[in-house]
């Protein structure tokens, strides 16, 4: 199969982007696919979720993007292999915040820096998942330009749903001007507590508002204490809680994504 690059994006924080990147990536790997995860958030949450800490000598996404911008040779040892989940990872740390500022001042092709790197890397993988930062700045724009599609996690809560319109407008502008092939894979409802009226109301309103033009994944991800614990253990929830409800949900999501 050809490589599929998926940006996992929502400018609202705390909606499960990092959990989705880690868990969907691990689920795809368990199905036999070659998977690369890219941490595109200066907070480095995806990196920390797999138990990694960076230091001054680490090769991270900021190193790679700086090399692309300056035309230097790209570091070949930038990818970390995580054996228990059988995925590859490009880590990030706070130095990536400096790249966001640098990109603003790049005059030519600043939206294509990540895409330029991936064009020489993606042939090794079936799926590349990009964990985007909670903003619609230049790093997220780079991810959306590099991606074939975007998967949008949305927490079943009013404020999370309210930000959807702005994200969809941004995706539309990027599709029109920078990446005509960009598609929306769908909206993934996350941290769903089906016992509450609010969660049911928000889920229903999102389906009513967007269900005609966008795919709402049949899978939704329940709220889980075990899932919230897994990053501190340095493991994906599929390894940390293999028999849990969240694990079952992400395996089902992987089947939907690959269908």
Phi, psi of 9 (to 5 degrees): -135, 145
Three-state SS string across the chain, please?
CCCEEEEECCCCCCCCHHHHHHHHHHHHHHCCCCEEEEEECCCCHHHHHCCCCCCCCCCCHHHHHHHHHHCCCCCCCCCEEECCCCEEEECCCCCHHHHHHHHHHCCCCHHHHHHHHHHCCHHHCCEEEEEECCCCCHHHHHHHHHCCEEEEEEECCHHHHHCHHHHHHHHHHHHHHCCCCCEEEEEEEEEECCCCHHHHHHHHHHHHHHCCCCCEEEEEEECCHHHHHHHHHCCCHHHHCCCCHHHHHHHHHHHHHHC
Per cent of the chain over pLDDT 90 is 56
- What is the spatial distance between Cα 73 and Cα 58, in angstroms, rounded to a whole number? 16
Residues near 230 by beta carbon (within 8 Å), at least 6 away in sequence: 19, 49, 236, 237, 239, 240, 241
pLDDT of 232 reads: 87
For domain 4-258, which CATH number applies: 3.40.50.300, 3.80.10.10, 3.40.50.1100, 3.40.50.720? 3.40.50.300
- Name the residue ranges covered by the structural domains of the chain: 4-258
Task: Point out which residues pair with 127 in neighbouring strands.
Answer: 4, 35
pLDDT of 188 reads: 94
Residue predicted with more confidence, 104 or 257: 257
- What is the spatial distance between Cα 242 and Cα 84, in angstroms, rounded to a whole number? 13
Q: Could you read off the pLDDT of 19-30 as tens digits, one per residue? A: 999 999 999 999
User: Which residue, 170, 233, 219, 184, is CA-closest to 20?
Assistant: 219
Give yes or no for a contact between 174 and 144, defined as CB atoms under 8 angstroms apart.
yes
Residues near 162 by beta carbon (within 8 Å), at least 6 away in sequence: none
Residue predicted with more confidence, 75 or 249: 249
Q: Could you read off the pLDDT of 204-247 as tens digits, one per residue? A: 778 887 878 899 999 999 988 888 889 888 888 998 999 999 99
pLDDT of 98 reads: 93
Q: Could you read off the pLDDT of 78-94 as tens digits, one per residue? A: 788 887 778 999 999 99
Residue predicted with more confidence, 250 or 86: 250
């Amino acid at each position: 199969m050809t490589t599929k690059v998926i940006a996992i994006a929502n400018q609202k924080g705390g909606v499960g982007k990092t959990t989705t990147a880690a868990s969907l990536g691990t689920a795809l790997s368990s199905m036999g696919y070659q998977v690369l995860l890219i941490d595109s958030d200066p907070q480095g949450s995806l990196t920390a979720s797999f138990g990694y800490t960076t230091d001054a000598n680490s090769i991270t996404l900021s190193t790679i993007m700086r090399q692309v911008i300056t035309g230097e040779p790209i570091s070949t040892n930038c990818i970390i292999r995580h054996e228990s989940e059988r995925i590859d990872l490009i880590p990030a740390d706070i130095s990536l915040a400096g790249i966001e500022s640098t990109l603003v001042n790049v005059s030519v092709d600043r939206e294509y820096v990540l895409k330029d790197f991936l064009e020489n890397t993606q042939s090794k993988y079936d799926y590349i998942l990009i964990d985007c930062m909670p903003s619609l700045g230049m790093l997220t724009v780079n991810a959306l330009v590099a991606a074939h599609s975007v998967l949008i996690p949305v927490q079943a809560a009013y404020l999370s749903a309210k930000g959807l319109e702005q994200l969809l407008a941004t995706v539309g502008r990027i599709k029109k001007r920078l990446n005509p092939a960009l598609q929306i894979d769908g909206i993934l409802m996350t941290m769903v507590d089906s016992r509450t009226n609010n969660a049911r109301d928000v889920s229903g309103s999102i389906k009513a508002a967007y269900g005609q033009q966008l795919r709402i994944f049949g899978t939704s991800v329940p709220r889980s204490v075990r899932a919230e614990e897994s990053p501190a253990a340095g493991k994906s929830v599929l390894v940390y809680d293999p028999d849990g409800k969240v694990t079952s949900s992400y395996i089902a999501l992987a089947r939907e994504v690959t269908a």
